[in-house]
């Protein structure tokens, strides 16, 4: 009784913060509350006895007829159907409809009562959410694209150290898919000698959160180990929360090899210099003992030998200087026109004097070139000395000079043991010696590198062919 006095149901209905309306079995509006009329901008008389579906777009009407209405009437209820209701001014109002059917005692449909909720704000929030989700996804894809593009292995790990992302290079290098990121899998790819130290450092960084750097060998899909520089750092987000470890593995195999070559080279160079210096030292000691008797008939021989050792030292130092000049791009050419055959003749004559080799020169004797004569002599000397040095049993060396459409071609042919094919491409690299037993041959291994640089500087090409057991041909061209 008190309730009746307090609550005015009709007033609640009219002023509710949602729309209410009731539809007849034919879909016509029988009752509608004030709130909804206000939202839509209609007067009650304009909507009563009109079909509710008239407030929907045509596609909406189809959906209403085929889904909403059968569901509301036969299924006795509809939950959260999303529609856009057209206001009187033509604007759309996004709404959710909840409906229930009212049946009479003989189960005949009397009405469908509908609750309408305005979801304009919710829709715009959801739209924003979707947009930001999409842009986050795009950003993620961009990063992934970038990570896949770099030639290094890139990965991320959870703060407690579990790898949760790897880039395309990772999968390619280890021949696996992006899911193979278990610690045991990765550790199986690390060289056994590097594993323990890596794990120790990794665990330490996990504890402290400090970035770390480590050189490790990783085995590739073909079973070859290559040196990598592993770097990892913990990414903190703007709130200072731990998010992820970001890591990379840069392949430093070439760098490590280069450093090793340089070390080897310094080793060789020291030995090479030490031999003539030791000889010179010995010779000088003998001469020192003879300084009272310079007329001793051994003296000229000793001086001669000393000179040869000094020349050798001089040549080695000159090679070193040349190589470092080439390295810095400081090789300057003094070009002049000269007869190439004459240059060969002079040089060969010089060698023939004290050697037993048969050196045959073939070709056009009238060919002249525009080149640095001194440098050309250096190249010639290197190639011929190499032929003699590396093919000691080859008693015959052929030097063939010919004209080509582009200029001249010089070939130096020996019939020595030949060079293994896998070594041919590296002959003209710095610090490279064909035989690993470098003690067998003297020299710094700089000769061919210097030749190649001189020829390239002249605009020519240089190369070598070889058949094991038959001999080698070194050649170069010079432009006309």
Partner 1 sequence: MDAIIKRNNVNVIGNGEQVILFAHGFGCDQHAWKFVIDAFTEDYKVVLFDYTGSGRSDLSQYDPAKYSNIDGYAQDILDVCQALDLRNVIFVGHSVSSMTGILAAIRHPEYFVKLVLIGPSPRYLNTENYTGGFEQKDLEVLFEFMENNYLGWSSAMAPAIMGNSDRPELGEFLTGSFCSTDPDVARDFARVTFMSDNRADLSKLTVPSLTLQCSNDIIAPLAVGEYVHRHTPGNEFLRLNAAGHCPHISEPEETIAAIRAFIQRN
In the complex, the residues that contact partner 1 under the rule CB under 8 A are 25-28, 51, 53, 57-63, 65-67, 69-71, 73-75, 79-83, 96, 109, 119, 126, 129-130, 133
Q: Which is nearer to partner 1, 2 or 74 (CB)?
A: 74
Q: Smallest distance, Å, CB 37 to partner 1?
A: 23
Q: Decide if 96 contacts 119 (C-beta within 8 A).
A: yes
Q: Decide if 404 contacts 477 (C-beta within 8 A).
A: yes
Q: Phi and psi (nearest 5°) for 34? A: -60, -45
How is residue 372 written in tokens? 């640095």
Q: Which is nearer to partner 1, 80 or 422 (CB)?
A: 80
User: Going by DSSP bridges, is the β-strand pair 358-363/396-403 parallel, antiparallel, or unpaired?
Assistant: parallel
3-state secondary structure of 371: strand
Calculate the CA dihedral of residues 19, 23, 29, 35 and round it to 10 degrees.
-10
Q: Which is nearer to partner 1, 75 or 254 (CB)?
A: 75
Q: Which is nearer to partner 1, 79 or 389 (CB)?
A: 79
The continuous run of DSSP H or E covering 44 comes out as helix 44-47
User: Going by DSSP bridges, is the β-strand pair 242-251/358-363 parallel, antiparallel, or unpaired?
Assistant: unpaired
Q: Which is nearer to partner 1, 27 or 407 (CB)?
A: 27
Distance CA 49, CA 99 (A): 18
Q: Cα angle vertex 215, ends 211, 221, to 5°?
A: 115
Q: Smallest distance, Å, CB 8 to partner 1?
A: 32
Q: Smallest distance, Å, CB 24 to partner 1?
A: 9
Give me the residues paired with residue 339 across strands. 368
Q: Which is nearer to partner 1, 56 or 412 (CB)?
A: 56
- State the CB neighbour count (10 A cutoff) for residue 326: 19
Q: Which is nearer to partner 1, 72 or 166 (CB)?
A: 72
Q: Smallest distance, Å, CB 133 to partner 1?
A: 6
Handedness of CA 299, 300, 305, 311 (dihedral sign): positive
Task: Please give the full DSSP string across 421-455, using - where no structure is assigned.
Answer: GGGGGGTTSTT--S-S-GGGS-S-S-HHHHHHHHH
User: Going by DSSP bridges, is the β-strand pair 163-166/335-339 parallel, antiparallel, or unpaired?
Assistant: unpaired
Q: Which is nearer to partner 1, 67 or 162 (CB)?
A: 67
Distance CA 473, CA 413 (A): 4
3-state secondary structure of 372: strand
Q: Which is nearer to partner 1, 127 or 349 (CB)?
A: 127
Unique residue bearing structure tokens 């070009």 = 335
């Amino acid at each position: 009784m008190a309730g009746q006095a307090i609550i005015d149901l009709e007033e609640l209905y009219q002023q509710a913060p949602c729309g209410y309306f009731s539809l007849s079995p034919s879909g016509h509006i029988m009752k509608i509350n004030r709130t909804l009329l206000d939202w839509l901008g209609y007067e009650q008389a304009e909507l009563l006895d009109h079909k509710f579906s008239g407030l929907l777009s045509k596609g909406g009407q189809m959906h209403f007829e085929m889904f909403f209405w059968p569901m509301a009437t036969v299924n006795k209820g509809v939950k959260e159907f999303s529609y856009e209701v057209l206001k009187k001014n033509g604007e759309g109002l996004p709404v959710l409809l909840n409906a229930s059917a009212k049946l009479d005692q003989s189960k005949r449909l009397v009405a469908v009562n509908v609750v309408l909720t305005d979801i304009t704000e919710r829709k715009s929030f959801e739209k924003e959410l979707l947009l930001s989700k999409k842009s986050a996804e795009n950003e993620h894809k961009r990063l992934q694209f970038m990570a896949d593009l770099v030639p290094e292995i890139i990965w991320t790990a959870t703060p407690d150290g579990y790898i949760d992302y790897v880039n395309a290079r990772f999968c390619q290098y280890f021949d696996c898919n992006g899911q193979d990121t278990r610690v045991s899998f990765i550790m199986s790819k690390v060289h056994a000698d590097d594993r323990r130290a890596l794990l120790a450092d990794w665990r330490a960084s996990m504890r402290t959160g400090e970035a770390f750097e480590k050189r490790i060998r990783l085995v590739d899909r073909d079973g070859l180990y290559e040196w990598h520089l592993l770097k990892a750092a913990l990414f903190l987000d703007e709130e200072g929360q731990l998010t992820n470890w970001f890591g990379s593995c840069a392949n430093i195999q070439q760098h490590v090899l280069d450093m090793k070559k340089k070390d080897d080279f310094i080793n060789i160079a020291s030995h090479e210099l030490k031999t003539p210096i030791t000889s010179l030292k010995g010779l000088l000691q003998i001469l020192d003992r003879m300084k009272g008797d310079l007329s001793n008939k051994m003296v000229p021989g000793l001086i001669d030998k000393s000179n040869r050792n000094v020349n050798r030292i001089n040549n080695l130092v000159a090679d070193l200087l040349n190589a470092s000049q080439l390295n810095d791009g400081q090789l300057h050419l003094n070009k002049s026109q000269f007869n190439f055959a004459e240059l060969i003749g002079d040089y060969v004559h010089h060698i023939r004097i004290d050697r037993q080799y048969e050196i045959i020169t073939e070709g056009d004797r009238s060919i002249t070139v525009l080149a640095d004569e001194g440098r050309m002599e250096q190249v010639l000397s290197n190639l011929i000395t190499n032929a003699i040095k590396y093919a000691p049993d080859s008693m015959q060396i052929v030097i063939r000079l010919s004209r080509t459409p582009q200029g001249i071609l010089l070939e130096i042919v020996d019939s020595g043991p030949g060079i293994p094919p896998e070594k041919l491409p590296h002959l003209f690299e710095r610090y490279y010696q064909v035989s690993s037993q470098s003690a067998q041959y003297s020299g710094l291994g700089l000769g061919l590198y210097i030749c190649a640089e001189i020829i390239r500087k002249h605009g020519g090409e240089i190369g070598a062919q070889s058949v094991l057991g038959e001999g080698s041909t070194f050649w170069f061209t010079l432009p006309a």
